[in-house]
């Protein structure tokens, strides 16, 4: 009798399993179909993405080849074609190359605009942020000597945040912009901070390049050049980093006097304009 009850119970369980299987069958089939569609879509997207990246690399290299042959306008057009269809990183690079061409032609405003476009096109990733910040820094530098201070501040101020990759360079450029705009006290305060900072690029002698230029700028401000100071900024910025032993930041009074004479400035450190 016990065996009979067990046999009946087993048949009932089997029947319940069958009903459950029939109920779940559509859901299982749907899940399998979704997995196949998603998996196939991902494989298809990967293949498309790799193909697009390869085409972008080829077209970008072709544009570089044109530029190396000396055909700058042809290269400019080729990079424009790359920027239209390429992946974000190659689009950013192509726009940067276009900006470089315009910069070499002295069309700084056009170059600055293209650098901004390059920054906007960069991938939205940590790596892409580095390329974007570099392009924005270049956009500011392209018009550093001509744009109004408010424009330069808008370009550079976000890049000066501590965690941004080019913060020291952006802080230095903003200090030069203040100096050119006649904000001498603010600029000097910024250069003092730059002179004592620990980060930033180093020269072959191991000394901080920005720190040495900041020291030279402080010496220039303290020389009393006054109204002639903006005329001399480009000359000072283009100087190699001064040797630490050469007076205040390596910029001696004699050097300051010589630079001022070259720029049509004062007769000597602290002297009145000629």
In-domain check, residue 198: yes
Whether residue 160 is found in the same domain as residue 106 = no
Whether residue 80 is found in the same domain as residue 154 = no
Mapped onto helix, strand or coil, the DSSP state of residue 245 is coil
Token duo for residue 27 = 């859901």
Measured N-to-C along each axis, helices 209-222 and 229-237 cross at an angle, to the nearest 10 degrees, of 160
pLDDT digit string, tens, across residues 85-127: 888 888 998 999 999 999 999 999 999 999 999 999 998 888 8
In this structure, what are the phi and psi dihedrals at residue 202, rounded to the nearest 5 degrees? -115, 145
pLDDT of residue 230: 59
In-domain check, residue 242: yes
pLDDT of residue 18: 53
The domain boundary residue, chosen from 120, 143, 166: 143
In-domain check, residue 13: no
Task: Specify the pTM.
Answer: 0.66
Which burial class, exposed, middle or buried, applies to 93 when counting CB atoms under 10 A from its CB (0-12, 13-18, 19+)?
buried
pLDDT of residue 77: 93
Domain count, the chain: 2
Write out the residue range of the structural domain in which residue 270 sits: 149-274
Is the distance from CB of 171 to CB of 160 less than 8 angstroms?
Answer: yes
The CA distance from 222 to 32, in Å, is: 77
In-domain check, residue 25: no
The domain boundary residue, chosen from 143, 160, 192: 143
Token duo for residue 227 = 């109204």
pLDDT of residue 115: 95
In-domain check, residue 52: no
pLDDT of residue 201: 67
The domain boundary residue, chosen from 75, 108, 143: 143
Count how many Cα atoms sit within 13 Å of the Cα of residue 159 in the half-sphere of its side chain. 29
Whether residue 91 is found in the same domain as residue 178 = no
In this structure, what are the phi and psi dihedrals at residue 60, rounded to the nearest 5 degrees? -65, -40
Residues of the chain with pLDDT under 50: 1-5, 8, 12, 35-48, 205, 241-257, 259-261, 263-274
In-domain check, residue 167: yes
pLDDT digit string, tens, across residues 224-234: 765 566 566 65
In-domain check, residue 45: no
């Amino acid at each position: 009798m016990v065996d009979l009850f067990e046999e009946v119970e087993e048949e009932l369980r089997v029947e319940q399993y069958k009903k459950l299987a029939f109920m779940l069958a559509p859901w299982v089939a749907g899940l399998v179909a979704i997995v196949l569609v998603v998996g196939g879509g991902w494989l298809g997207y990967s293949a498309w993405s790799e193909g697009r990246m390869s085409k972008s690399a080829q077209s970008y290299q072709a544009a570089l080849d044109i530029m190396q042959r000396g055909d700058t306008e042809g290269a400019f057009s080729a990079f424009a074609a790359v920027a239209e269809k390429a992946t974000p990183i190659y689009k950013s690079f192509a726009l940067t190359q276009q900006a470089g061409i315009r910069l070499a032609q002295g069309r700084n405003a056009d170059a600055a605009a293209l650098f901004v476009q390059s920054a906007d096109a960069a991938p939205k990733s940590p790596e892409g942020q580095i390329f974007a910040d570099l392009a924005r820094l270049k956009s500011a530098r392209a018009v550093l000597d001509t744009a109004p201070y408010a424009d330069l501040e808008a370009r550079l101020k976000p890049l000066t945040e501590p965690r941004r990759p080019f913060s020291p360079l952006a802080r230095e450029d903003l200090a030069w912009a203040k100096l050119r705009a006649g904000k001498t006290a603010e600029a000097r305060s910024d250069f003092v901070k730059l002179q004592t900072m620990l980060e930033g690029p180093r020269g072959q002698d191991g000394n901080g390049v920005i720190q040495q230029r900041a020291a030279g700028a402080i010496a220039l401000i303290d020389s009393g050049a006054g109204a002639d100071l903006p005329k001399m900024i480009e000359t000072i910025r283009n100087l190699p980093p001064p040797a630490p032993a050469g007076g205040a930041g390596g910029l001696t009074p004699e050097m300051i006097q010589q630079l001022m004479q070259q720029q049509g400035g004062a007769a000597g450190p602290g002297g009145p304009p000629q």
